[in-house]
Each structure stands twice: as C-alpha cells, then as structure tokens.
Amino acid sequence: MASIHRSGSRPQLDLSKAAIEGNFEEKDPTILLPNQSDDLSHLALDIGGSLIKLVYFSRHEGQSIDDKRKKTLKERLGISNGTRRSYPILGGRLHFVKFETTKINECLDFIYSKQLHRGGMDSRLWNAEAPANENAVIKATGGGAFKFTDLFKERLGVSLDKEDEMNCLVAGANFLLKAIRHEAFTHIEGQKEFVQIDHNDLFPYLLVNIGSGVSMIKVDGDGKFQRVSGTNVGGGTYWGLGRLLTKCKSFDELLELSQRGDNRTIDMLVGDIYGGMDYSKIGLSASTIASSFGKAISDTKELEDYSPEDISLSLLRMISYNIGQIAYLNALRFGLKRIFFGGFFIRGHAYTMDTISFAVHFWSKGDAQAMFLRHEGFLGALGAFMSYEKHGLDDLMVHQLVERFPMGAPYTGGKIHGPPLGDLNEKISWMEKFVLKGTEITAPVPMAPPPGTTGLGGFEVPSSKGGTLRSDASALNVGVLHLVPTLEVFPLLADPKTYEPNTIDLADHNELEYWFTVLSGHLPDLVDKAVASEGGTDDAKRRGDAFARAFSAHLARLIEDPAAYGKLGLANLLELREECLREFQFHDAYRSIKQRENEASLAVLADLFAELDSMSEETRLLTLIEGVLAANIFDWGSRACVDLYHKGTIIEIYRMSRNKMQRPWRVDDFDLFKDRMLGSGDKKPQPHKRALLFVDNSGADVVLGMLPLARELLRRGTEVVLVANSLPALNDVTAMELPDIVAEAAKHCDILRRAAEAGSLLVDAMINRSDSSKENSSSVPLMVVENGCGSPCIDLRQVSSELAAAAKDADLLVITNINLRQMERMHVTVTRAFDDDVQIILEGMGRALHTNYNARFKCDALKLAMVKNQRLAEKLIKGSIYDCVCRYEPAS
Amino acid sequence: MDVRDAGFHGKLDADQSESQISHLALDIGGTLIKLVYFSRNKDRPIDENKNSKNSVIEGRLHFAKFETSKINDCLEFILSNKLHLGGFRHHKDPASDKILIKATGGGAYRFADLIKEKLGVSIEKEEEMECLVAGANFLLKAVHQEAYTYMDGRKEFVHIDHNDLYPYLLVNIGSGVSMIKVDGDGKFERISGTSVGGGTFWGLGRLLTKCKSFDELLELSHQGNNRVIDMLVGDIYGGLDYSKIGLSSTTIASSFGKAISDNRELEEYKPEDIARSLLRMISNNIGQIAYLNALRFGLKRIFFGGFFIRSHAFTMDTISVAVNFWSKGEAKAMFLHHEGFLGALGAFMSYEKHSRDDSTSPQLGQRYPVCTPLVGDKICYPLNGDLNDNDSLECSVYVA
C-alpha cells in the first residue's frame, strides 16, 4: 500500500500542489492533502462535563528507504497500489490527550500550539501567518460541543461539528474492540487478564460509559445501539462529593487518597449491625457494606474527625459498586453476558475495577463478566474521530495498528508527567520538545528528580502502591496508536489465529523481575552506547539521560502493573526499549558496532567462498548449514568477539565452531533437507522458486552465515529474498543496510553480483552499470525486503506489505535463531556471554522444543538454531552447549 | 396473616389476661430501634360473645422508635413502662422465670447481652427478612388504607385485593436497602439490595451539613435546590435537552457534579441544597434499582418501606418518579403508612408461632380495620422516643 515518502532530498510538498506531487512517482496519491478539509481530519474532541478528551492524528515521519529500489521491488513483486482501497489511508499515529473541562483554555492553547485545528504541525504545509480558514470544522461530541461552540469559533476560528454522543461512544468502543489486540481485560482481585475478542462474536454487549454521569448502552452492531439505562451517580458524584468532603484539589488526588483508606471506619458493615457476625442466611458476610457512610450517623465524630483517605475509599466503593449493580441488572434484562466499562471515572484504577467486577460477579453469581478498556476514557473522542468521512479507518485490521508506549499522553489532571522541565511551554508535551524540527534539537536539561520518583537506572516502586490498591497516577497506560496501513498478516502462516509471537508471558513474576533486573542493569551501558552513536555531544548526553528516565519510568510502571500496557511479553519489553531510544532521537545506538562487525566479516568472505567452492555439492550444503549455525556463535558486542575481530581470526573461530557441529544434531533433519535440495539417486529435484531468508544479526551471522547460503540457493536457480528489520534494533541488520553489505560481498562473487543486479540491489552501489549489462544477466534475482518491524522480535501477524507480497511466490523459508524463536513457543533466557560483560543473549531454544513445531507454514521451512546457553541446554533439551537444531518441514 | 385463620388455641392464662401491656417486639437496626407493643383497652371487657372458646382482647398496637446509638434511652423507656414483662416464658421450660422477648435486626445479636443485663430478659432472635415480610403482609392485608401511591404531591390510597397481593417486591429502606420478592406468607426471597440507603443519606448529610438529626436533614432538603450542586443535562449541553435519548435539560446528569467545576468550598454551599441533592440521589437510585429488580421478576407492584422514607413527600416523589421513568409507567411505587415498623411488626407476629405450645401467647388479628390515626401528609417523627408522638393502631387480639 501507499505510504508517505518524505526523503530528505525531496522538496516539501506545498499545499496547492499536493495532489500532483503525490501522483508523480506512484500513480497514487500517497499524501492525502488534496484539500483543507482532509487536512482537518486530524483532531476530534469529546468535551464532557469534567474532562475534555482529544484524539489527534499525526503522520509518520517518512522512512526513506531507497525509493528507487522500492519501486523496482514493487514492480518485481507485483505490488500494485490502491487495489484494496478506493483511496489510500495515511500511516501515522493516534494520540490521546485529556484536559479538565474547567481548564478549557489550556486545551485551546494546546490545540493552537500544535496547530491541530489546521491539520497539525506535521503537515508543515501550514503557514502561521495565513488567515484561518473560516470554514474549518472539527468533529466534537459531548455536551461541551454545544456549550463551547462560540469559544472555539472565537479562539481558534473553527466550527465544531457536533456528533451524537452515544453514537460516538459506540463507534469508539467498536473500533477499539476490533482494532486493538489487547484492549479489553477483566480485573478481579488485582489480577488483570486480557480478553481475546472474537470479532464475529462481539455483539451484543452492554457498554457502560462512566463519565460525570453514567450511560448504559446496549450495542448490537456497528451503529446499532440503544441507550437502555444510566445513572446520575457517576464520576462527577465521586469527585464532587469527594471535593466537598476532603478538600482534594483533583480527581486523581482523591483517587490517590482512596488507596490508603479504610472504609470500615465510615461504612456500616453487616458485622457492625450483627455484632461482628455474618448474616449468612442471605449470603452477606460480616464485611459486606450494609450502609455506605452509615457509621457517620451513630458516631459523634464530625467531618474533620474522619480521615480523607477513608472518606474517599468509602465513596469510591459506594459508587463503583452501585454502577456495577445497575449495569448487571441491565445486562440481565437483555441477556447480555459481556459488560464493557469505559469512561474516565475508571482510569485504570485497580480498586475501582475490582469493586465493579465484584459487584457484577456477586449479583450475577458469576454469569456476567465485567470487562474494561485500556482506552476507556477516549471512546467518545475516538468515535468523533471515526465520524470523519475520509479517514479510511473503518476497515483497519488489528495487524495494522501497533501500539507504542513512549512517554506520550502526558497529561493527567492538567499536569505534565515526566521529568520536570521548569518553564517550558507547558502546552506541549515535554517529549515533543525533542522532536521539534527546528534548526536544532533543543533538548532541555532534566532537573534532579524529586524524591520518590524514578531515577536513572532504578525502578523504585511509587510510594502510592499499596496492596491491590494501585492507581494509574502516571497515566501511562494508554499508548500512541501507530497506524501502519501497510502491515499484513504473513501469508505463509498456516494458522494465524493460533499464532502467538509473544510466547514469553511475563506474568511469571520471577521471570519479570529477572528481566527488569537485566534490563535496568544494562541501561547505563546502553545509554553510553547510544550517546556515543550520536557523537557524544552534550545534546546527546541530555537525551541519553532523558531516555534513561523515560525507560526507567516505564519499567517502574510495569513492575507495578505488568499488564499496564496490554499483555506483556518479552518481545514487547524489548520493543519498548527500542521505541524509547527512537523517541529520544537515538536512531541506531549500535551503528558503529554493526559496522565493525560487518567489515570484519566481509574481509574474510572471499576466503570462505573459495573454500566452499572447492567442496562437493553435498559437503558444501552441509558446510553451509553448519555455517549458519556456527555464525550464530558470534554475538554482538561481547568482549571475546570484539577481540576476535580485532585479531583477525574470525574465520578461524568460525571454522572451529563449524567443526564442533557433530552430527547427528539434537534435532537433525539435514538429510531430509538434502534430499529435497539435491535429490536422492538419479532424481534431480526441481529447485525452489523463491526462498525467503530471515536474517537477524549483523556481522558474521548475516555475512558468513546467511549470504553463503543465499549464494548457494541463487546458484541453484532459486530467487532469494533477504528479509530484514525495517528499523534498527540491537545489532540486527536492517533492510537499509543490506544493499551495501551485499554490494560489498558482490565484489568477491559473480553469482551474488549478477543476482543483486537482477534484484536492483546495486542501483546505488554501482550506479554506472548500463542497462545492457542488466539484460545480459540471466541470473535469478537477489532481493531485500523489510519486514515492517523495528524490534528484536518479529511478529508475523504484522509484516510489511512488501514481505507479504514477496511471500506469495515463496516456497522455502529459512529462519534462524531470533526470528525462529519468535515463531515458536520457545523459552528465552539471559546469559552472560563469554565473560563479565553484561550482555543479553536471546536464546532460541527452550522447553518449547517439544512443541515448537506447531507453528506451521504453508511452504517448506528450514529452521536453524544453536543453543548457546549451558543451563538451558541441560535443563531444557538435556543436551549441552552448542547443541544444534536443524528442522526441515516440507510444505503441509 | 389471614384474620379468619387467626385461630384460638387453649385457654386464657389468668395472669396474662390481667396484664395491661403485653407482647413487646423489637427491631434493632443499624440506625434505629423500632418497638411494637400491645396494650389492652381498659374500658372494654374481654369479648367472648361469639365463640366461647375464643377470647378477644381489644387494644392498641403501639409503635415507638429510638436511635440505636441511644439504646439506653430505649431500655429506660421499656423499663419504665414495664414493657419487658410482655414477653413470654420459654415454651420448653415453662417453669423457669426466664422471659423471652422477640427481636429482629442485627442489633438483636449485638445487644443481646446488654438487654439481658439491663432488663433481665432474653432475646429470642427472629430472622430479619422473615419479619419484614410478615410485617408487610400483615399490614397490607389487615390495615385498611395502608398502601398508597405518591406522585406530584398527590397521595392516593391503593386498594389491595387480598387475593391478588402476590407476588410483589418489598423494598425496605433502612440504613441499607433490602429488596425482597414476596410470593406469599413466609414465601419470599431476598433478591437484591444496596448499601446506598437511609444510613447513607444521614451519614453523608451529617458530614456535609452538620445537621443534628435525620429529620432536621430531611426538613432542610425541603427548602433546598439541587440544581446548585447537581450537574444537569442542561449544564453539559449548554441549556439544551439531549432529546435524542429522552433526557430533558433538567435531568440530573451527575449528582454533585457541579461541586467539581466550581471553585466553591463546602462552606459556600447551602446545607439545604446539599440535603436536597443527596436526597434526590439516593431516592432516585433506590427507585431505579428497585424497578430493575421488579422488572427481572415481572413484578408490577413495588412497596417501599423502612425508616428512610418516613412519609417524606419529596422522598416518595423522587422514588415514584424514578420507578415511573425507568418503567415508562409500567411499574408503580407504593408506600406503607407503617413503613418503619415492618420488622418489628413481623417480630411481634412471630409470637404466634409459639401459641401451640405456649398458651400465654395471643393471636393478633384486626377485628375492625381501623385507619391509622396519625397519618397525614406531614408526619415527622421526632426521634426523642416520646410516646405521644408515636403511632398506634387500634386492633383486637384473639387470645388463648
């Protein structure tokens, strides 16, 4: 699909020519700026009685992978634009921000400062001096859309286009439930569990939106709903009464108070009435609240004599419980089993959710289930956003949305969370200060964190934590939704429904803590690397410090509530780190390390090719497989490896490792693979048409392991597609870097050169080659595609359209360690490699070895892995270090 | 209780027949203690004209109440009126001096020792829900013009057909709220309830207004204007209705919702307005939950009892409006004159259970339906335990 290409060399589009420019290269308008009204489909508002919720859209920064190469690739792979949609949708991000309604001026300032009412700063087509478009329209819902119409007109010069509130709530909820994987969850006794929503079995459900008041809506389908009930005892009641009773300054402060409260001092319990006994005959335990605030009667205590904490908790229980009960009764009325609770009252507050869940469970005797939504507060705003006609999001699929958790959505109760910034313009999130594209990045100097907050590298638990009474004071539970319309499910996945890349569920708290220890221990080192990769400037140091804080804050949040950002797997955790790095403009912390490793490996490649070419076909094939396995021994950054590179003995180590591979391997399908490749007896098998090689590490792994294998396949007449990460992550080689590596390797090898030319990989590297030489080459092509992913782990439910297209003709997959691990249910652990350098080595093998071949592909698949961890080897496969797995699975 | 079945068994005990006061029963709730006791009419002889085996004692049922926190006042009252002698002796051990008094409510458990110590009588605990139901059934069948509807300030008595009484929903609003589906005498099920009840009104009200009593608070609410504090649909929609979903601009969108956005502190709100908001919030909530439960079981009639209501016009109005609104006129809220004494009456009725074994227990029946004398539009029961202000019900008791 179309995506935005904004390479630095291309001039910025100008508004009037937007459509033409967009058509220039791709026969398809890739940038949706044909007119002003489309521009405005960037912001939608939900102005409630207490809070204003904003959803706004910003376009992705252009990822300028060589346009020409892409274009050729697209032609080769037969990707035609615009086949699936009548108009393209933009890749970008959905942001979620909230303000208190009483502070509507801050909200207006925020909108103004980001120029959201004119299409956002991202467009950069907007001219600050240009007169405001008098016809500009913003979609808005909630009562405030009526109340503040004039104010918006006056301050921003825009009209509010009012959307029906219930309509928006339902549209927002339906969108979230369908489009986001881990949106809904249950919350019982402090345990959060995500609910897999079957899109075909979503309706009917009861949507309970708890704002100032409460609306209960029976939803039967898209746009099919009925408001069946509601109650005036809602979030406004909690806050309003709470303010009067406790003098709290904000909703969050009140919620925070409740965490330390004990409602027994103020509620009349069954035990109080029954002298400590249960009223078991009707199923009431002594601790059941008989009468909320009932003790405030008989005591002689005055308001001042009660602790605000107790009052807040009592109030919270009363209101949550009441809402749960009324919701259940309404669900019962219509035979609805599922009740989704949304609205800003909940705000991820554990106790609130527990109380509501308890009420629903208690009254339904377990028949009905209370579920919550992570984007609970933004249903209406999202719905209003959806009501723009041309956003094209209606048919968005789950796999096209990637949720990221930078320090976005920084507003809670009008305050910015994150490191304090002094007098910076408070209307713009402090994070964005880094991203501002001025002449230079103006990274603010972080001040010393106030006591009790997370410092660098540590993850002190926020002092507010108390038992199950966790609150989400940090407001970090809502991430920015990245819309990548070009993502698809990997078409060769035999059973996408059962596929789960996130096999390391960090629900096991030991595992979780272990990882947190490792990651935070590794943090200073990573910061050093990152800062060095940016030249070690003062600016880089400041950003490095800020990154450390941001990432530590995330870790602290996660150790408190592992499911805060959705189901947490190791892959998510690692991706989060990469995202954080990118957010602070560290685009490739491992750049120099990767370069060094690549150079060292490329230096010895010619020798390796010569050695391989001297072998018989059968020996060569075995050697190649051994080579892929052996190359895995080289792990990035470890001191031992670095020494090896420096001493120029890489080929020796490689050969030594290769020689360790005593067959039979722990899993050994080599003969089966060999038969498929070389045939048995006289039968000469047909070569594979196209092979996809999933590459991971830079250096020896790709150069000495995968490239020789690719070369062999090419030699046999099989097209080869190298699949690599779209964005840098750890020392993984990226799709951007591969053409250069291939070009360098091609200098030593004619096979690679011709194939690379055929695959247009050398257009940049060998720009002077004439077209005639292309025609002379009869080689099958060697191509490079990006996998659409920027994390150490690939999720095959979300791959680039390029990869999906390339996969259509593929009949062989070669997958190694890291990618393999993610495809299969494998255990991951950490080891300290070779010496005391703190390193993380992701191990591809684990207990899942017994079951890991459940993930089947529609084509032949060769899975190669080496166990590099002694403990794991012994424990999990009863083998030893360097045990190898070579699994070959013919197409089923 | 069916009057016609109010059988007479055994013969009248001489001592007992001479007591002026007999049969005290208590309902000791979280907030209030309710007393029901019977006194004989001195000026009328025992009527034995119809059936030589039946003795009918004409007399009065008295109703009194105290705050639970002032239980000592209550015990003093009982002692000074010798009400505690109107219990019964244990049927298994008639010879013993031990007098048992029927009591229900949580306090029957909590204060058993105190009562034993102060009055020298033991408490025979009766199950709370059973008592509520027995009390309600008795009132609905035996007392003419017991039930009424209240809408827009208009009170209308409801004629209850004894043969078409069941099933109904009984909502007893005490400190908390119990909702009981009643299918017949002794046939019932507690199907729901809520902790947001009379105790909440009074408790929150005390904290917010410094009122000294429930009645003072209720009185305040009469003069208040909830719009000052509640967030109305009109406040959110800039004065407009949200007519699409049937909400008028005066509908409360969020109780106490305005207390958020204002910069006003507690002291700057009038206690009257607070009381009004609170009352509407709680009454409306109870009405809604009651309706939803009635709907669940297809019950058309909902009777509201319990001391929260105390015939307060605005309370009843709000509850009625809530039931009417949510049921779209299908269900009706009805109120009981003796709303606060259901449990105590039920406990009183339970003396009957012992009649077969213990000849000292009378059967209570109402011979001539009598209008309750003190029911007006404005009954404000002071909580000072003053007997004069309490209700009484003229009735006859068939005694054994």
Q: What's the pLDDT tens digit per position in A667-687?
A: 789 999 999 998 877 778 889
Chain A residues with beta carbon closer than 8 angstroms to that of B190: 282
Q: How would residue A192 be classed by pLDDT, with cut points 50, 70 and 90?
A: confident
Chain A residues with beta carbon closer than 8 angstroms to that of B281: 232-233, 237
The top-level CATH class assigned to A591-889 is alpha beta
Chain B residues with beta carbon closer than 8 angstroms to that of A237: 254-257, 281
Helices (runs of H) and strands (runs of E) counted in chain A: 31, 27
Chain B residues with beta carbon closer than 8 angstroms to that of A207: none
Q: Is the pLDDT of residue A463 over 50?
A: no
Question: Can you give the residue ranges of every domain in chain A?
Answer: 184-266+306-373, 428-473+495-589, 591-889
Maximum mean pLDDT: which of A105-114, A210-219, A472-481, A727-736: A210-219
> A49–B235: do the CB atoms touch at under 8 Å?
yes
> B192–A147: do the CB atoms touch at under 8 Å?
no
Q: Is the pLDDT of residue B96 over 80?
A: no
Q: pLDDT tens digits for B103-118?
A: 998 888 888 889 889 8
pLDDT at residue number A76: 67
Q: Is the pLDDT of residue A130 over 70?
A: no
Instruction: List C-alpha distances in Å: A178 to A373, A392, B250.
Output: 12, 15, 36
Closest to A733 measured CA to CA, from A701, A765, A756? A701
In CATH terms, the fold of domain A184-266+306-373 is Nucleotidyltransferase; domain 5 (3.30.420)
Q: Is the pLDDT of residue A806 over 50?
A: yes
User: How far does the CA of residue A380 sit from the closest CA of chain B (Å)?
Assistant: 15
Closest to A206 measured CA to CA, from A347, A319, A374, A371? A371
What does the alpha-carbon distance between residue A466 and residue A464 come to, in Å, rounded to a whole number? 6
CB A176 within 8 A of CB A481: no
Mutate to test the interface with B, among A297, A325, A345, A365 (most CBs of B within 10 A): A297
Q: Is the pLDDT of residue A393 over 80?
A: no
Q: Is the pLDDT of residue A320 over 80?
A: yes
Average pLDDT in chain A: 71
What does the alpha-carbon distance between residue A298 and residue A267 come to, in Å, rounded to a whole number? 11
pLDDT at residue number B110: 85
User: How far does the CA of residue B290 sit from the closest CA of chain A (Å)?
Assistant: 10
Instruction: List C-alpha distances in Å: A69 to A702, A866, B36, B156.
Output: 21, 34, 95, 86
Instruction: List C-alpha distances in Å: A453 to A324, A383, A464.
Output: 34, 35, 11
Q: Give the residues across from A724 on adjacent strands.
A: A786
Mutate to test the interface with B, among A291, A316, A358 (most CBs of B within 10 A): A291
Mean pLDDT (whole number) for B326-331: 84
User: How far does the CA of residue A169 sit from the closest CA of chain B (Å)?
Assistant: 14
> B288–A326: do the CB atoms touch at under 8 Å?
yes
Antiparallel, parallel or unpaired: β B363-365 and A191-194 = unpaired
Chain A residues with beta carbon closer than 8 angstroms to that of B202: 294, 296-297
> A49–B68: do the CB atoms touch at under 8 Å?
no
> A297–B202: do the CB atoms touch at under 8 Å?
yes
Mean pLDDT (whole number) for A741-756: 91
Chain A residues with beta carbon closer than 8 angstroms to that of B260: 49-50, 102, 212, 236, 239-240, 243, 251
Residue showing tokens 């959710």: A353
> A101–B107: do the CB atoms touch at under 8 Å?
no
What does the alpha-carbon distance between residue B356 and residue B351 come to, in Å, rounded to a whole number? 10
pLDDT at residue number A8: 32
pLDDT at residue number A647: 57
CB A171 within 8 A of CB A387: yes
Mean pLDDT (whole number) for A788-795: 75
Which residue of B174, B244, B254 is in closest CB contact with A232? Answer: B254
User: How far does the CA of residue A243 sit from the closest CA of chain B (Å)?
Assistant: 7
What does the alpha-carbon distance between residue A557 and residue A566 come to, in Å, rounded to a whole number? 12
Chain A residues with beta carbon closer than 8 angstroms to that of B285: 231, 233, 322
SS (H, E, C) A637-684: CCHHHHHHHHHCCHHHHHHHHHHHCCCCCCEECHHHHHHHHHCCCCCC
Chain B residues with beta carbon closer than 8 angstroms to that of A164: 244
Q: Is the pLDDT of residue A127 over 60?
A: no
- Helix, strand, coil percent content, chain A, rounded in steps of 5: 40, 15, 40
Closest to A355 measured CA to CA, from A310, A312, A311, A325? A325
Chain A residues with beta carbon closer than 8 angstroms to that of B128: 279
User: How far does the CA of residue A164 sit from the closest CA of chain B (Å)?
Assistant: 9
Question: How much of chain A, in percent, has pLDDT values that exceed 90?
Answer: 15
On the question of a cis peptide bond just before residue B167, with omega within 30 degrees of 0, the verdict is yes
**Who wins on pLDDT, B200 or A18?**
B200
User: How far does the CA of residue B31 sit from the closest CA of chain A (Å)?
Assistant: 7
Q: What is the largest CA-CA distance in chain A?
A: 101
> A294–B199: do the CB atoms touch at under 8 Å?
yes
Q: How many CB pairs under 8 A join A and B?
A: 240
Four-residue CA torsion sign, A703, A709, A711, A714: negative
Q: Is the pLDDT of residue A502 over 50?
A: yes
Mutate to test the interface with B, among A168, A293, A314 (most CBs of B within 10 A): A293
Helices (runs of H) and strands (runs of E) counted in chain B: 12, 17
**Who wins on pLDDT, A97 or A169?**
A169
pLDDT at residue number A707: 93
> B231–A213: do the CB atoms touch at under 8 Å?
yes
Mutate to test the interface with B, among A273, A312, A332, A336 (most CBs of B within 10 A): A273
Four-residue CA torsion sign, A694, A8, A70, A93: positive
> B256–A245: do the CB atoms touch at under 8 Å?
no
Token couple for A762? 């050398």
ipTM passes above 0.85: no
Q: pLDDT tens digits for B53-94?
A: 445 566 778 888 888 888 999 999 888 887 877 666 555 555
Mutate to test the interface with B, among A210, A263, A292, A316 (most CBs of B within 10 A): A292
Which residue of A273, A279, A282 is in closest CB contact with B107? Answer: A273
Burial class (CB in 10 A: 0-12, 13-18, 19+), B97: exposed
Which alpha helices (H) appear in chain B, and where do they start and end?
A: 14-18, 71-80, 107-110, 112-119, 128-142, 198-209, 214-223, 233-236, 258-261, 271-296, 313-327, 342-349
Residue of A nearest to B249 (CA): A143
Domains of chain B are 3-127+342-399 (3.30.420), 147-196+281-336 (3.30.420.40), 230-268 (no CATH)
Q: How would residue B41 be classed by pLDDT, with cut points 50, 70 and 90?
A: low
What does the alpha-carbon distance between residue A741 and residue A726 come to, in Å, rounded to a whole number? 16
Contacts with A536 (C-beta within 8 Å, 6 or more apart), sequence order: none
pLDDT at residue number B203: 93
Burial class (CB in 10 A: 0-12, 13-18, 19+), A463: exposed
Q: Is the pLDDT of residue A588 over 90?
A: no
Enumerate long-range contacts of A602-608, CB under 8 Å, 24 or more apart.
A602/A703, A602/A741, A602/A744, A602/A745, A603/A648, A603/A650, A604/A650, A604/A651, A604/A654, A604/A704, A605/A703, A605/A704, A605/A707, A605/A745, A605/A748, A605/A749, A606/A748, A606/A749, A607/A651, A608/A651, A608/A654, A608/A704, A608/A708
How far is C-alpha B132 from the geometric centre of its chain's CA atoms? 8
Rounded to 10 degrees, the C-alpha dihedral B68/B70/B71/B72 comes to: 180
Q: Is the pLDDT of residue A131 over 70?
A: no
Token couple for A749? 């090898």
Please count the other Cβ atoms lying within 10 Å of the Cβ belonging to residue A808: 12
User: How far does the CA of residue B366 sit from the closest CA of chain A (Å)?
Assistant: 31
Instruction: List C-alpha distances in Å: A331 to A169, A340, A689, B196, B325.
Output: 18, 11, 56, 21, 19
Residue of B nearest to A279 (CA): B106
User: How far does the CA of residue A212 sit from the closest CA of chain B (Å)?
Assistant: 5
> B235–A146: do the CB atoms touch at under 8 Å?
no
Q: How would residue A310 be classed by pLDDT, with cut points 50, 70 and 90?
A: very high
Residue of A nearest to B69 (CA): A298
pLDDT at residue number A135: 63
First to last CA, chain B: 17
Residue showing tokens 């591809």: A844
Amino acid in position A732: D
Residue of B nearest to A103 (CA): B261
Closest to A725 measured CA to CA, from A822, A800, A816? A800
**Who wins on pLDDT, B306 or A431?**
B306
Chain B residues with beta carbon closer than 8 angstroms to that of A229: 288, 292, 326
